[in-house]
Amino acid sequence: MTGSYPNTRLRRTRAHGWSRALHRENIVTPADLIWPLFVTAGEGVEEPIATLPGVSRWSVDGIAKRAKEAVALGIPVVALFPNTPHDLRSDDGAEAHNPDNLMCRAIKAIKDAVGNDLGVLTDVALDPYTSHGQDGLVDDTGYVVNDETVAVLVDQAVNQANAGADIIAPSDMMDGRIKAIRMALEMNGHPNVQIMSYAAKYASAFYGPFRDAVGSGGLLKGDKKAYQMDPANADEAMREVALDIAEGADSVMVKPGLAYLDIIYRVRQRFDVPVFAYQVSGEYAMIEAAQAAGIGDRDALLMEKLIAFKRAGCSGVLTYHAPHAARLLAG
Ligand code: PBG
């Protein structure tokens, strides 16, 4: 009889709130959240981003204030992305290794404001610095060249670590960059700087608002399909993750998030490595658009998506909704 109706009624444990709480298998807390922030030039500047309603670029002083806000909300990490002034962008993205660039100034301002109460994750890729909007160096045919790009990414990563970055997050999808960056961090006195690799990053249509936010969208000709992954592929993601772990990644990321829950789940089943999801700009914008159009409730949609990431096996989620979610969780 056991296991069949009416001995077993799965609705029994769902009947009351206390019981649902008792039987809940997964939980989201502010400690699961990573808050991406966009840095812009100037002082006292806030620039709302039209395609990311509710998200702004902040000048370095504003970034320091957001860092204090993150600490107060219990968010453990912020992720930084610069909107490099257009006159500082170039074919080779040299501004990426300027020790006084926006990114480095923002890292230092955060560390001055909150010290080690907050982790700072920095993006390694050239797209916010190049005049062509690609993540690496391009040859005459427009192809993003791998090994030459890796050499530049290594300089970029060491530059960020020297400024005080805690987690280096390469989002460029070049082959071999995790190993090269790990070796450079070790050799330059940064043994405890982590690497969170964007291991399975797909060539996605969900990145549009982000490219507006870092000012690369209008510059980009063509696409990123010769380095970012084909959305049709899943086995290949396992190879990407295996390589990045072998090369020294401390944690891996799957990006975008919601459309790739199967990848998150498979990575978690197969590898004993912390996995993070990036709920990307297009995913954020879709929730905001649903709210604005009266199609759904922002808060409910958001919390349902966040718990889905946890259920799939994520250690945490990068989301532009991080401060809002943390406030909701605090009641
Ligand atoms: C590029 C980068 C992208 C994102 C993070 N790093 C966009 C791209 O690959 O073109 C997307 C994040 C988002 O959409 O929120 N290095």
Q: Is there a contact between 71 and 78 (Cβ–Cβ < 8 Å)?
A: no
Give the whole-angstrom CA distance, residue 293 versus residue 296: 8
Whether the per-residue pLDDT at 1 is higher than 60: the answer is: no
Does the domain made of 26-329 have the CATH classification 3.20.20.70? yes
Would the CB of 281 count as within 6 Å of ligand 1? yes
pLDDT in tens, 66-78: 999 999 999 999 9
Expressed in angstroms and rounded, the spacing between residue 83 Cα and the centre of ligand 1 is 12
Task: State the pLDDT at residue 265.
Answer: 98
Annotated catalytic, 201? yes
- Whole-model pTM? 0.97
Whether the per-residue pLDDT at 319 is higher than 70: the answer is: yes
- Percent pLDDT > 70 in the chain is 100
Task: State the pLDDT at residue 221.
Answer: 87
Whether the per-residue pLDDT at 2 is higher than 80: the answer is: no
pLDDT in tens, 69-108: 999 999 999 999 999 999 999 999 999 999 999 999 999 9
Q: Give Dmax (Cα) for the chain.
A: 75
Q: Is there a contact between 91 and 142 (Cβ–Cβ < 8 Å)?
A: no
Would the CB of 34 count as within 6 Å of ligand 1? no
Query: Considering only CA atoms, which of 114, 14, 128, 106 is closest in space to residue 60?
Result: 106
What residue's CA is closest to ligand 1, atom 7? 207
Query: Considering only CA atoms, which of 119, 114, 127 is closest in space to residue 156?
Result: 127
Buried b (16+ CB within 10 A) or exposed e, 123-149: bbbbbbbbebbbbbbbeeeeebebeeb
> What is the overall mean pLDDT for the chain?
97
Would the CB of 171 count as within 6 Å of ligand 1? yes
Give the whole-angstrom CA distance, residue 133 versus residue 219: 5
Question: What are the residue boundaries of the structural domains of the chain, listed by start?
Answer: 26-329
Expressed in angstroms and rounded, the spacing between residue 209 Cα and the centre of ligand 1 is 9
pLDDT in tens, 165-203: 999 999 999 999 999 999 999 999 999 999 999 999 999
Task: State the pLDDT at residue 3.
Answer: 84
